[in-house]
Chains A and B, each alone.
Chain A
Amino acid sequence: MKRTAKFLIPLVLFLIAVGFLFKGLFLDPHEVPSPLVGKPAPAFTAPLLSEPSKRFNTADMKGKVWLLNVWASWCVACREEHPALMEMAKISEIATYGLDYKDTDAEAQAVIDANGNPYKEIMTDADGKIGIDYGVYGVPETYVIDKLGIIRYKQIGPITEQAFFSKILPLVKALQT
């Protein structure tokens, strides 16, 4: 009995360590959980890409469930994400608003003209100030914001099919009821 314990305890400890390390293989260190989830989305007003004289105001979004997708024309992963956003735009429950992060209007407009516009509205954040308030550190990032203006979910990196159907869409539907 004692002999087996002597043999088993190190083995069990070793297996636990292996378990942690194995899990670590599938974690993306770039996915840092945002402290903003569960907190009110920072309020901002920003000029529209289509009409810079008009301004988008987060206060106008009260009572709506919406997605804030932070993107830029210079961001390669955003281009990969673009077709997924176009597909999402066909789903009636989904209202995606784009925040054009640290970009020029002309280049952003060129991307939209070439690939289509999946957004209800595109706001511009040329100096990245809004991005800082939202804790953006690697575009694309997408926030799900509820009717009360609380951030309920943050997707870091492109929205994958799996993330959309298993998390985002069910969450949006639940928040709307």
Chain B
Amino acid sequence: MKKLFVVLLLLANAAFAGVAKPLADDPVIEARLKAMSRELRCLVCQNSTLADSTAPLAEDLRKEIRVLMHEGKTDQEVVAYLVARYGDFVRYRPPVNNETAVLWFGPFALLLIGAFVLYRVLKKHAGNDELKGEDA
């Protein structure tokens, strides 16, 4: 009984795989597409990735990426293709360049300023303590 069930399951699976095949004909490319499209923004619904989005444009772009990959384009070339059309905004990880320098280094600059201010305040308080004893 169990064996029959397993065989049936496998058969069902095989039949399903047969139907689904045209969508995912090359597992390597599908894996690459999946990994890449998680890093890309869908411009129609900006808070979802190209992998999640059901917008028609996202579908077209996934199709286009498949074609480019079949042509032998590397991941970097595909991302460059999209950035050339939609700008750096399509990337969830913005590149480091002049335009994004503030974005990348601003928080560290603020952290440094904060640390400096904290240092000054603590030093002053330490000095006060020595002179006047404890002070609220």
Contacts and interface: CB of A to CB of B under 8 A. Distances in A.
Interface of A is mostly: loop
> Which of under 10, 10 to 19, 20 to 34, or 35 or more describes the interface residues of B?
10 to 19
A137 B57 contact: yes
A35 B87 contact: yes
A138 B87 CA distance: 15
A104 to B, nearest CB: 14
> Which of under 10, 10 to 19, 20 to 34, or 35 or more describes the interface residues of A?
10 to 19
A32 B86 contact: yes
Contacts of A1: none
Contacts of A127: 60
B87 A29 contact: no
Contacts of B87: 32-35, 135
A72 to B, nearest CB: 11
Nearest to A35: B87
Given A32-B87, A132-B64, A138-B43, 19 more contacts: A32-B43, A32-B89, A33-B87, A35-B84, A35-B85, A35-B86, A35-B87, A35-B88, A36-B84, A102-B56, A127-B60, A132-B60, A133-B85, A134-B85, A135-B85, A135-B86, A135-B87, A137-B43, A137-B86
